C-alpha cells in the first residue's frame, strides 16, 4: 500500500485548512490522535489488491480523485425536503447531518431519560471531553487500513450516544446523514455509542442523498456494549449511484452483552462495509444480518470479523446478496475463536442470487478455531432463480417478470423479516420493491 506524494500533499492541505472547524480542536488528546492517524495514513496509503482483505475490491476510483472537505455553511434545507427519509410512524430521537455537518434545524433530539446523552460529536467534545476520552478512537484501529486512518485523522462531525448504567431508551435514535449535489465532496462521519451496564438502545444509521456527483463518504462508528447491556444497530445505505461509500462498524462487547446489526446496502457505485465485533467477556452474544443489492456496474463488498476471546460466547451471522447487470459482490466473513474461548457457539452463512450472466460474486466464509470445545459452522451459496419455481408461478397465471421479481423478493425477505422495527422493515421493502421488475404486480401479490 502506497500513496502518491501529490495525493498525500492534497490531504495534508485539506486537514490543515479545516483546522479549528474539526470536532475537538484544541484538545491535546484529540490532536494527538489525529496526528498519529494521519502519519499512519501517510505510511499506508489506500489499500491495494496486494492486501488480501482488499483483493477483490479496487479503490482506484477513489485514489484518482481530489476530494475536498466542505466548510460549514447554511445548506438551506427544510424538514419537508427529507420527509421521505424519516420514519413517520416511528417516534425517534433524530439527528440530521448534511454534507458532514450537524444541522439543528432539521433535527429533533427530544427528551432523554436521566443523564443519557444524544448529541453531535462537536458538542460532546466541547461539553464533556473527559467522558469520551476512554472510548473515542480507542477500539477502531487506525492501523487497520488507510480509510480507517483517514477517518480518524479527519474525524468529522457525527453522533454521540451515551447511556449511563441501567438507562433504557424507549424510542430509537435515528442518525440521518444527507449528501447534496456538491461535487467531489469528502465527509468523514464519526459516531460513538456507549451503553453502560444494563442499558438498552436501538440506533438507526441512514445514509442518503439528494443528488450526487461522485462524492465520498468515509464513515466510522464505534460501539461499546457494557455488562448485560443491549444495542441493536440498523444501517441503511441508499446513496446516489455515483457515490463512494466506505464504512467501518467497530463493536466491543462485555460480559453477557447483546449486540445485533442489520446492514442494508442499496446504493453507491463502490461500497465497502467492514463490520468487526470483539466478544471480550464471557456470555457475550452477537448477531450480524445483512442484505446487499447490486445492479449495473455497482460494486458492493462486505467484510466481517467476529472475535470470540472469552468462553461461552454466541454469534450468528447471515448475509444475502442480489446482483444483476454487471454488478459485483464480495463477502468475506471471519469468525475467530481464540485459545481459551471454550463453549463458543458460532454460525455463519452467506447466500447470493445472481440475476444475470454477467453478475459476479466472490464469497469467502472463514473459521479460525484455537479452542477444542466449540460448536461452529459456516457456509455459502451462489445460484440463480429456479426455473421450476418460475414455471410453477407462471402456471398459476403470474407473468414471467412478476414471477422472477416475486422469487427475488422472497429471497431478500429472509433477511428483512429478522428486523424487529416494523417501520424499518417497511422502508426497506419499499426500496426493494422499487428496484424489482413489475413492481405493481408484485405489491399486489405480497400485500
Taking only the tens place, the pLDDT of each residue in 11-60 is: 999 999 998 899 999 999 999 999 999 999 999 999 998 899 999 999 99
**pLDDT tens, position by position, 236-247:** 999 999 999 999
Answer whether residue 72 shows pLDDT above 70: no
> Any idea what the Cα angle at residue 429 is, between residues 56 and 161, rounded to 5°?
75
Task: Report CA-CA distances (Å) from 340 to 21, 52, 367, 400.
Answer: 46, 27, 16, 54
Mean of all residue pLDDT scores within the chain: 94
| Percent helix / strand / coil, the chain, rounded to 5 | 25, 35, 35
Q: Angle, to 10 degrees, between the axis of helix 439-446 and the axis of helix 400-416?
A: 60
Neighbour count for residue 1 (Cβ, 10 Å): 13
Q: Is 211 helix (H, G, I), strand (E, B) or coil?
A: coil
Contacts of 278 (CB under 8 A, 6+ apart): 139, 251, 252, 253, 307, 309
| Overall residue count recorded for the chain in this entry | 447
- Quote the pLDDT of residue 436: 83
Which range among 61-75, 102-116, 163-177 shows the weakest confidence by mean pLDDT? 61-75
Burial 327-340 (b: 16+ CB within 10 A, else e): bbbbbbbbbbbbee
**What is the phi/psi pair of residue 404, to 5°?**
-65, -45
Mean pLDDT (whole number) for 194-217: 93
- Quote the pLDDT of residue 98: 93
Residue 402 CB-density burial (10 A; 0-12 exposed, 13-18 middle, 19+ buried): buried
Mean pLDDT (whole number) for 302-310: 98
**pLDDT tens, position by position, 160-184:** 999 999 999 999 999 999 998 777 8
Answer whether residue 330 shows pLDDT above 80: yes
Is 319 in contact with 292 (CB distance < 8 Å)?
A: yes
Answer whether residue 74 shows pLDDT above 60: no
How many Å apart are CA 79 and CA 197, to the nearest integer?
A: 36
- Quote the pLDDT of residue 69: 85
Q: Is 259 helix (H, G, I), strand (E, B) or coil?
A: strand
**What is the phi/psi pair of residue 156, to 5°?**
-80, -175
Q: Is the dihedral of CA 411, 413, 416, 420 positive or negative?
A: negative
Instruction: Give residue 88's pLDDT band: very low, low, confident or very high (50, 70, 90).
Output: confident
DSSP one-letter code for 219: E
**pLDDT tens, position by position, 413-439:** 999 999 999 999 999 999 999 888 777
- Quote the pLDDT of residue 75: 61
Answer whether residue 143 shows pLDDT above 80: yes
How many Å apart are CA 254 and CA 189, to the nearest integer?
A: 25
- Quote the pLDDT of residue 78: 87
Answer whether residue 73 shows pLDDT above 80: no
Burial 311-320 (b: 16+ CB within 10 A, else e): bbbbbbbbbb
Mean pLDDT (whole number) for 368-375: 97
pTM for this prediction = 0.96
Burial 131-143 (b: 16+ CB within 10 A, else e): bbbebbbebbebe
HSE-up of residue 134 (Cα within 13 Å, Cβ side) = 7
Which cell goes with 403?
414471477
496486494: which residue's cell? Answer: 50
DSSP one-letter code for 64: T
Q: Is 81 helix (H, G, I), strand (E, B) or coil?
A: helix
Is 297 in contact with 327 (CB distance < 8 Å)?
A: yes
Instruction: Tell me the DSSP string of 125-182.
Output: HHH-HHHHTTTTTSSS-TTS-HHHHHHHHH----EEEEE-TT-B-SS-EEEEEEE-S-
Mean pLDDT (whole number) for 361-389: 96
HSE-up of residue 59 (Cα within 13 Å, Cβ side) = 26
Q: How far is CA 122 from the centre of its chain?
A: 21
Contacts of 147 (CB under 8 A, 6+ apart): 46, 47, 218, 246, 248, 272
- Quote the pLDDT of residue 342: 98
Amino acid at each position: 500500500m502506497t500513496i502518491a506524494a501529490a495525493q498525500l500533499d492534497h490531504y495534508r492541505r485539506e486537514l490543515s485548512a479545516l483546522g479549528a472547524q474539526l470536532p475537538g480542536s484544541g484538545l491535546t488528546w484529540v490532536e494527538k490522535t489525529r496526528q498519529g492517524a494521519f502519519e499512519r495514513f501517510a505510511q499506508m496509503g489506500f489499500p491495494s489488491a496486494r492486501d488480501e482483505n482488499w483483493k477483490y475490491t479496487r479503490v482506484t476510483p477513489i485514489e484518482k480523485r481530489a476530494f475536498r472537505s466542505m466548510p460549514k455553511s447554511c445548506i438551506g434545507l427544510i424538514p419537508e425536503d427529507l420527509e421521505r427519509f424519516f420514519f413517520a410512524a416511528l417516534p425517534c430521537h433524530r439527528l440530521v447531518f448534511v454534507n458532514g455537518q450537524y444541522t439543528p434545524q432539521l433535527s429533533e433530539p427530544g427528551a432523554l431519560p436521566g443523564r443519557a446523552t444524544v448529541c453531535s460529536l462537536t458538542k460532546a467534545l466541547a461539553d464533556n471531553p473527559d467522558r469520551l476520552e476512554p472510548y473515542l478512537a480507542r477500539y477502531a484501529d487506525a492501523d487497520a487500513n488507510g480509510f480507517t486512518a483517514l477517518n480518524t485523522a479527519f474525524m468529522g462531525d457525527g453522533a454521540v450516544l451515551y447511556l449511563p448504567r441501567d438507562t433504557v431508551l424507549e424510542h430509537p435514535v435515528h442518525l440521518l446523514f444527507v449528501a447534496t449535489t456538491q461535487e467531489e465532496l469528502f465527509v468523514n462521519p464519526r459516531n460513538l455509542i456507549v451503553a453502560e451496564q444494563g442499558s438498552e438502545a436501538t440506533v438507526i444509521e441512514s445514509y442518503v442523498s439528494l443528488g450526487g456527483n461522485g462524492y465520498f463518504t468515509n464513515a466510522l462508528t464505534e460501539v461499546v456494549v457494557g455488562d448485560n447491556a443491549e444495542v441493536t444497530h440498523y444501517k441503511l445505505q441508499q446513496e446516489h449511484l455515483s457515490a463512494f461509500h466506505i464504512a467501518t462498524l467497530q463493536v466491543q462487547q462485555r460480559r453477557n452483552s447483546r449486540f445485533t446489526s442489520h446492514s442494508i446496502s442499496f446504493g453507491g457505485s463502490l461500497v465497502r462495509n467492514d463490520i468487526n465485533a470483539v466478544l471480550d467477556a464471557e456470555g457475550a452474544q452477537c448477531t450480524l444480518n445483512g442484505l446487499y443489492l447490486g445492479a449495473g456496474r455497482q460494486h458492493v463488498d462486505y467484510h466481517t470479523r467476529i472475535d470470540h476471546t472469552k468462553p461461552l460466547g454466541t454469534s450468528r451471522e447471515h448475509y444475502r446478496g442480489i446482483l444483476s447487470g454487471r454488478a459485483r459482490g464480495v463477502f468475506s466473513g471471519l469468525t475467530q475463536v481464540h485459545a481459551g474461548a471454550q463453549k463458543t457457539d458460532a454460525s455463519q452463512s452467506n447466500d447470493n442470487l445472481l440475476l444475470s450472466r454477467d453478475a459476479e460474486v466472490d464469497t469467502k466464509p472463514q473459521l479460525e478455531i484455537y479452542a477444542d470445545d466449540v460448536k461452529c459452522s459456516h457456509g455459502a451459496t451462489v445460484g440463480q432463480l429456479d426455473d421450476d419455481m418460475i414455471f410453477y408461478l407462471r402456471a398459476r397465471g403470474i407473468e414471467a417478470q412478476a414471477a422472477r421479481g416475486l422469487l427475488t423478493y422472497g429471497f431478500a425477505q429472509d433477511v428483512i423479516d429478522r428486523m424487529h422495527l416494523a417501520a424499518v422493515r417497511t422502508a426497506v421493502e419499499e426500496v426493494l420493491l422499487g428496484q424489482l421488475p413489475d413492481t405493481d404486480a408484485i405489491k399486489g401479490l405480497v400485500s
